[in-house]
Structures are given as C-alpha cells and as structure tokens.
Structure 1
Amino acid sequence: MIQTIAEKIARDPAMQALFSSGLRRQYPRQHVLLPEGSRPSSLYLLMAGTLAVSTRGKDGEDLLLAYFHPGDFFGEMGLFPDVSARSACIQTRTECSVLEIGYDRFLNLTRTHPTLWIEVASQLAFRLRAVNRRLAEMPTLHAADRIWLVLQELALRADAPHVAEGKLLRVTRLDLGKLAGCTRELAGMVLRDLATDGRVILRGQNVIVRTDALTPAQPVA
C-alpha cells in the first residue's frame, strides 16, 4: 500500500520527530527556492506540491533534470564534506509546502533516530540509479524511446497517483521534452503515437501511463 507523507509521519516516530523539529514554509508557484550555487545550510522535505530541479547548460540554457514530489528530501548533498554550494536550482512548479530543518538540528536528531539516515540515503540511491539508467540508455535511444523511458520513470514512483487505467502524470509537453532531450513538438507527437499504441491515455494536460504497459525499472550497476 502506498503511504502518503502525512501517513508516514503519523506512523513513524522518526518522521514525527523530524516534523516537530523543522519549520513549515509555504511558497508560491514559480518561486526559486534554492538558487544554483547558493550556500547549503538546511535539509528540506517536500510536503505538498511539485518542484523542478534544473541546472545551467554550457550555453546558459536551463536544463530540466527532474521533479520532486511530496515525500522527497532535497538539499541533502550539503550534509557531506566539501560540498560548499548547491549544484542545481530548485524551483516550485505549483504552490508548495516545505519542511526545512538545519543540518545541525538534523544531525542531532539522527543520534536518537538513525533511521532518518536510511530514509535520506534510500532516496539518494534511487536518484543515482535513475541517473545511471539514463546515462546508460538514453544516448543510444531514439527520441520516442527516451520519452517512454522518462514516462516510465515518473510513473514507477510510489507517489504517482493511481487511477483506474494506470498512473496519472501531470507533466507538460515542454517539460517532458526537456527531460527526454527533445522539443515540445516532438514530445507531443510521440505522446500521440504512444496513445495510438495503447501505452498511454491523453486526458487534457495529463498523461495516464497504462499499468499493463509498465515494466519495473532495473538498476544499472
């Protein structure tokens, strides 16, 4: 059974302690929460909404790397030695509720609740596996296959909403193209082809990835 972040906090004493120790903050959509290159000082937990993770390309263009969803930690790299600056920009896509906790306070909490490290580390490992998979597979794939890879990656997240036909994704054609390394127009064309093939259902601005088309992602060693 999929747990929401509220359910996880209600059932997990370590998460309850974290929630009690942090500061709850609200941010409007399109707000730059963490600028790239800023000095890290806090760990964050997304409680509600969606965040976009991006970085600057060599030509100054914005490169979309990933989304963060409720239950995701971010800002964890600043907990490691010799990390003196944020490596990416974190910006809200929707109105967001975020729990912020300073690194020192988080480290103190882990002395009595060491499972917090497991929670943060497991999310970091999941992201690294996803990056490894993309690096291994995307350079050899056509645009249509890259888009399908991204859709599966988003749909296989535990927090992707279930509907009768499959997993519901709220992703724009523009963002899908950025994640897959192609144009918005090409992303739209591929989505229509995937709908014809029966792998997705297009419902307004939303994409439903059909359950019977999903295959579990395999980690790349």
Structure 2
Amino acid sequence: MVLGKPQTDPTLEWFLSHCHIHKYPSKSTLIHQGEKAETLYYIVKGSVAVLIKDEEGKEMILSYLNQGDFIGELGLFEEGQERSAWVRAKTACEVAEISYKKFRQLIQVNPDILMRLSAQMARRLQVTSEKVGNLAFLDVTGRIAQTLLNLAKQPDAMT
C-alpha cells in the first residue's frame, strides 16, 4: 500500500461505471413521496435527509444518509411500489442512479454489490429496532440524549 494514495474499491468502481451520476444542490429534492419507484440511488458525495410529510405539509425527518449509502431500495424487491418518503439533499450531493432492471442484471454478474446493499438494509433494520426500543423503554430525556448522541456520530455533525 502506498501512503497518501486513496484506496480503490473495484466492486464499487464497477458498479458506478454502470450508473448515471447526477449532482444535486443543497436542499433540492431527489425523491418525491408517492412517485413510482424505478431507480436505485447511491450517494457518492454529500448527505441527504429522508423525511415524511403530513397532509398539512409538516415534515418529520426519519434519518440522514451519507456517502456510501443506498437510497430507494424498497422498490427493488416489489414491482409497482411507490416511494414511501421524500429525500432531500442536506448538502450538495453527487448521486449515482441506476434502474432496478439494470441493477438486477448487474447482480447476476457480480452479487457482491447486492451483499453490500443487503448489509446496509440489515444495519438500518437494527437502528430501527433500537429506536423502537428507545421509544418503549426510555423517558423523554433519555430519548433526547440518545438522539443527540446519534446525530453527533453523523459525518457532517457539528461538534
């Protein structure tokens, strides 16, 4: 290994070579809740907020996703799905986009990228389980403290 030289990831480079790369300015919407799900996204640079809105337009942030995270994976497993949330750029972003159809073709050639997506989904399920546990077992002060600790772990957190 040469010091100072960034590590390359052949699987990721191969995957990205099959994607369309788009740039989004901060605060722009990448995904609209309710639209037909046909595309998988991968954050190359930047961070996004995943959020839902009620009928009055009030927003609730479900999570923040960062460089290296996939977005829009739910529709990959069930055709005809609609987007379940909005995704908005928190910072300027560079995002790789690939149709579900093309992604399915790629995983036939190289299943490693599917394993990466599956590992992320498993981590998200674990985080969701922890949040449910916190809602059930922590008081308000404990939940706020846990939320602040989790936010401080974000790559672009202010400390």
TM-score for the superposition, normalised by structure 2: 0.87
Aligned pairs (5 A) from 1:69-88: 69-82=66-79, 84-88=81-85
1-side partners of 2:106 and 2:12: how far apart? 10
Question: Shift of the alpha carbon at 1:115?
Answer: 1.0
> What SS does the corresponding residue of 1:51 show, helix, strand or coil?
strand
- Calculate the aligned-residue CA RMSD, in Å: 1.9
Question: Shift of the alpha carbon at 1:83?
Answer: 5.0
Q: Which has the higher helix share?
A: 1
CA change 1:83–1:65 in 2 (3 A) is: farther
What per-residue deviation string (whole Å, max 9, x for no partner) do you get for residues 30-62 of structure 1? 101101111111111101111000012476421
2-side partners of 1:58 and 1:130: how far apart? 27
User: Which runs of at least 4 in structure 1 moved beyond 4 Å after TM superposition?
Assistant: none
Question: Shift of the alpha carbon at 1:148?
Answer: 2.4
CA change 1:82–1:25 in 2 (3 A) is: closer
Question: Shift of the alpha carbon at 1:154?
Answer: 4.2
Instruction: Say yes or no: does 1:106 pair with 2:103.
Output: yes
> What SS does the corresponding residue of 1:87 show, helix, strand or coil?
coil
> What SS does the corresponding residue of 1:21 show, helix, strand or coil?
coil
Checking the alignment, whether the CA contact within 8 Å between 1:51 and 1:94 is kept in structure 2 is yes
Question: In structure 1, what is the equivalent of residue 141 of structure 2?
Answer: 144
> What SS does the corresponding residue of 1:122 show, helix, strand or coil?
helix
Instruction: Say yes or no: does 1:63 pair with 2:60.
Output: yes
Moved more, 51-60 or 31-40: 51-60
1-side partners of 2:20 and 2:33: how far apart? 22
Question: Where does structure 1 lack aligned partners over 5 or more consecutive residues?
Answer: 1-5, 162-168, 171-205, 208-221
Checking the alignment, whether the CA contact within 8 Å between 1:77 and 1:83 is kept in structure 2 is no
TM-score for the superposition, normalised by structure 1: 0.64
Alignment partner of 1:93 out of 87, 90, 93:
90
- AA of the residue aligned to 1:151: L
Instruction: Say yes or no: does 1:131 pair with 2:123.
Output: no
Checking the alignment, whether the CA contact within 8 Å between 1:17 and 1:109 is kept in structure 2 is no
Question: Shift of the alpha carbon at 1:95?
Answer: 0.7
Question: Shift of the alpha carbon at 1:155?
Answer: 5.0
CA change 1:83–1:121 in 2 (3 A) is: farther
Q: May I ask how many residue pairs the two structures share in their alignment?
A: 154
1-side partners of 2:124 and 2:151: how far apart? 12
